[in-house]
Amino acid sequence: MKKLLRLTLLLLLLPFAAAFAQDGAKRYALYGVAFYNQENLFDTVHDYGKNDYEYLPGGTMKWGTMKYEAKLKNMASVLSELCTDRLPAGAAVIGLSEVENRRVLEDLLRQPALAARGYRIVHYEGPDRRGIDCAFLYNPKFFQLESSMLVPYYYKTPSQPDVDLGFYTDADGKVRAYTEMRGDTTYMTRGFLVMEGLLAGEKVFFIVNHWPSRAAGSESRERAGYQVRALKDALLRQDPGAKVIIMGDLNDDPNNKSLTDALGCKHRLRDVRSAGDLYNPWWDTLYKAGQGTLLYDGKWNLFDQIVFTGNLLGDDRTTLKFYRNEVFVRDYLFQQEGRYKGSPRRTHAGGVWLNGYSDHLPTYIYLIKEVR
């Protein structure tokens, strides 16, 4: 216990000129993994086949060059700060939601706040009718990308009981995404973006999500949870020693059935009984600390979660392990006056441009590993 407390204090107090902390004869490296909903990061050009008209110069949001460039600058400034309280180089991996296309991601990385970081992009054009997708930014100094895929979300209804999952396992045991939409496509939405590679020399699968909205009903998100759980299990069958980190705007809180039943997350350490079980560290953040990531009708929700497999838990730091989780909180991210005082300062509210950031706050976790 004394050793753990000493390491905790060391990690909290060091300015982290480098990504290492030393405890006696041992040295440790930290890695940051973050998620941030970009809240309608659209460019000013129409994408064919997408309902992006409100985010055009002549649309309801009057979305012209000035607003777009301000949005890019604001979002880049936040992304550049994630995990820098302990890691000057920032997060190794950042999952994003609500980005329109690869062009906006490239424009984002050209912003002065991010240009020197060397982040690379993983993005696929998805089927969402508005055109908003998920994406990854990753720093190749810390994460070595091996493969990626976009697994589609499939609706399953009584009229199409054969529609199950958006992926399959090929003859070589490799998990593959279906490339075509199957079944009911009336409400096509974001899929599940998977990125595979090495973090701290260990195989890690990242899955970034943007689950159906609350207006779509709880069953649609439970369906998403079921599909992602099956995807996680399939990836672990492919690579039994791998670690899986699932993140995103899940449009549900930690205690909702989509998380507890469908995805199968555990919020008590003693209930995580296998390497493949999922642990959700955000339960206490919301229900004990009262801290969330978005405010609705005066109540905090915590939709922006990062959960992970049980093999990231434990005290044996010779392999990569979970260290701590945090909601990114800065005064400038909040509305300082008026009716929405205390809410995240978003880009628009009530049709008025606020030159803000997002209606969500970012979240991140730290991972730790002994350096030998």
Tokens 């409100």 sit on residue: 54
Residue 122 has pLDDT above 60, yes or no: yes
What CATH number labels 26-371? 3.60.10.10
Q: What digits encode the pLDDT tens for the residues 281-306?
A: 999 999 999 999 999 988 999 999 99
- Residue 369 has what pLDDT? 98
Q: Where are the domains of the chain?
A: 26-371
pLDDT tier at 188, thresholds 50, 70, 90: confident
Residues 233, 33: Cα–Cα separation, whole Å = 21
Q: Give per-residue pLDDT as tens, 27-70.
A: 999 999 999 999 999 999 999 999 999 999 999 999 999 999 99
Write down the pLDDT at residue 17: 31
Identity of the amino acid at 111: Q
Please name the residues in contact with 35: beta carbons below 8 A apart, sequence gap of 6 or more. Answer: 94, 95, 96, 97, 208, 247, 248, 249, 304, 305, 306, 362, 363, 364
Q: Residue 18: pLDDT band by 50, 70, 90 thresholds?
A: very low
Annotate 53-91 with three-state secondary structure.
HHHCCCCCCCCCHHHHHHHHHHHHHHHHHCCCCCCCCCC
Give how far the C-alpha of residue 168 lies from the chain's centroid of Cα atoms, to the nearest Å: 24
Rounded to an integer, what distance in angstroms lies between the CA atom of residue 334 and that of residue 342?
Answer: 6
Contact 93, 138 (CB under 8 A): yes
**pTM recorded for the entire structure:** 0.93
pLDDT reported for residue 14: 41
201-236 pLDDT, tens per residue?
A: 999 999 999 999 998 889 999 999 999 999 999 999
As to burial, measured by CB atoms within 10 angstroms (0-12 exposed, 13-18 middle, 19+ buried), residue 356 is: buried
pLDDT confidence tier of residue 238, bands split at 50, 70 and 90: very high
User: What does the alpha-carbon distance between residue 362 and residue 304 come to, in Å, rounded to a whole number?
Assistant: 7
Residue with tokens 């690869």: 102
pLDDT tier at 26, thresholds 50, 70, 90: confident
Across 167-180, b (16+ Cβ under 10 Å) vs e yields beeeeeeebebbee
CB 287 within 8 A of CB 336: no
Q: Is the distance from CB of 84 to CB of 26 less than 8 angstroms?
A: no
* Distance in angstroms (rounded) separating the CA atoms of residues 288 and 73: 34
